[in-house]
Amino acid sequence: FLADRLGKPLLVEGPAGVGKTELAKAVAQVAGARLVRLQCYEGVDESRALYEWNHAKQLLRISAGRDETWDEARTDIFSEEFLLPRPLLTAIRGDDPKVLLIDETDKADVEVEGLLLEVLSDFQVTVPELGTVTASRRPFVVLTSNATRELSEALRRRCLFLHIGFPDAELERRIVRLKVPGIDAALAASVVRVVGALRAMDLRKAPSVAE
Ligand SMILES: Nc1ncnc2c1ncn2[C@@H]1O[C@H](COP(=O)(O)OP(=O)(O)OP(=O)(O)O)[C@@H](O)[C@H]1O
Ligand SMILES: [Mg+2]
């Protein structure tokens, strides 16, 4: 509610498989918004996160117009038609409602955080050849993290923080019954009880809601 009203990104942390990613999908579904997802991984960079030029198409365009001067060709190949928008740019363009999911933010390299900061504070992106794109309608932003590393102070400060832990038994029964329609109530309850007991044991990994 606050993230929506304040227009602030929501940073969701918690153990694996408790519904962090699911939360963004649910918000998109309830709001009738399009989900735009940036999956973070080690090595994700500007060309994967923001935009990239379609080099193959640019080359084809250049060889198709052999008699043109360089100036003519240049202005043409750096136009909208040759741009490949990636999730961050996609999320701030257009007027339709969107939910931007920046998933597993902690897996990305620290440099990507600089990029996120820029986009999440101003909701604008500058493509040198085309100019600055400013969001006419801000997306609802959800960042998720398993806290394998601390995100930078600057990024955390711009977000509202939500921790999702393991649900209590009553909530978990409701989740199971939602995800397995028609399941016998007694069976759902005993599954939840067994999983709860496993979580209390000293295991290398506690079973998640997903499991
Ligand atoms: N709180 C929940 N409410 C509803 N469904 C849930 C919940 N938690 C988990 N699930 C179910 O488990 C699946 C996996 O959850 P999800 O991918 O959202 O976990 P996650 O927290 O993003 O995990 P990870 O950190 O591994 O990415 C979901 O697709 C959903 O079916
Ligand atoms: Mg996830």
* DSSP annotation of 17: T
Ligand 2 centroid – CA 126 distance (Å): 29
- On average, the pLDDT of the chain sits at 93
Q: Is the CB of 21 under 6 A from ligand 1?
A: yes
Q: Whose atoms come closest to the Cα of 25: which ligand?
A: 1
Asked, for residue 78, whether it belongs to a domain, the answer is: no
Neighbours of 185 (CB within 10 A): 10
Grouping H, G, I as helix, E, B as strand and the rest as coil, residue 211 is coil
Q: Which atom of ligand 1 is nearest to the CA of 146?
A: 25
Establish if 98 belongs to a structural domain: yes
**Cα 108 off chain centre by:** 12
CA distance 25 to 37: 10
Through-space distance between the first and last CA atoms of the chain, rounded to whole angstroms: 28
Using a 6 Å cutoff on CB, does residue 175 contact ligand 1? Answer: yes
- The rounded Å distance from CA 92 to ligand 2 centre is 22
> Of the ligands numbered here, which is closest to the C-alpha atom of 18?
1
Same domain for 108 and 39: yes
Q: What distance in angstroms lies between residue 18's CA and the mean position of ligand 2's atoms?
A: 8
**Cα–Cα distance measured from residue 71 to residue 49, given in angstroms and rounded to the nearest whole number:** 29
Q: Which is higher by pLDDT, 130 or 71?
A: 130
Q: Which atom of ligand 1 is nearest to the CA of 23?
A: 18
In this model, does residue 184 exceed pLDDT 90?
Answer: yes
Collapsed DSSP state (helix, strand, coil) of residue 164? coil
Q: Assess whether 132 and 193 both reside in one domain.
A: no
CATH number at residue 120: 3.40.50.300
Structural domain contains residue 72 = no
Token pair, residue 133, equals 């794109």
More confident residue, 77 or 142: 142
% of the chain residues with pLDDT over 70: 100
Whole-prediction pTM: 0.90
Q: Which two tokens stand for residue 106?
A: 């902690």
pLDDT, one tens digit per residue, over 72-125 is 887 788 999 999 999 999 999 989 999 999 999 999 998 899 899 989 988 999
Whether residue 25 is contained in a domain is answered as yes
- Return the pLDDT at 72: 81
Neighbours of 131 (CB within 10 A): 8
- Is the separation of the CB atoms in 166 and 206 below 8 Å? yes
The answer to whether residue 207 sits within a structural domain is: no
Whether 29 and 109 share a structural domain: yes
* 134 and 36 inside one domain: yes
Total count of domains within the chain: 2
Q: Which ligand is nearest to the CA of 14?
A: 1
Contact 160, 5 (CB under 8 A): no
Same domain membership, residue 93 and residue 190? no
* Model confidence band, residue 68 (pLDDT cutoffs 50, 70, 90): confident
- Asked if 115 and 180 sit in the same domain, the reply is no
Domain co-membership, 93 together with 179: no
Pocket test residue of 10, 11, 13, 18 for ligand 1, highest count of atoms within 8 A of CB: 18
Q: Are 144 and 181 found together in one domain? A: no
Q: Which domain, by its residues, includes 183?
A: 169-200
Cα of 85 to ligand 2 centre, how many Å? 23
pLDDT band at residue 67, thresholds of 50, 70 and 90? confident
pLDDT of residue 73: 80
What pLDDT is attached to residue 36? 98
Establish if 28 belongs to a structural domain: yes
The distance from CA 201 to its chain's CA centroid, rounded to whole angstroms, is 33
Residues 133 and 176 in one domain: no
Closest CA to 195 of 181, 208, 178, 179: 208
Q: Which of 12, 13, 21 to mutate to test the pocket of ligand 1 (most atoms within 8 A of CB)?
A: 21
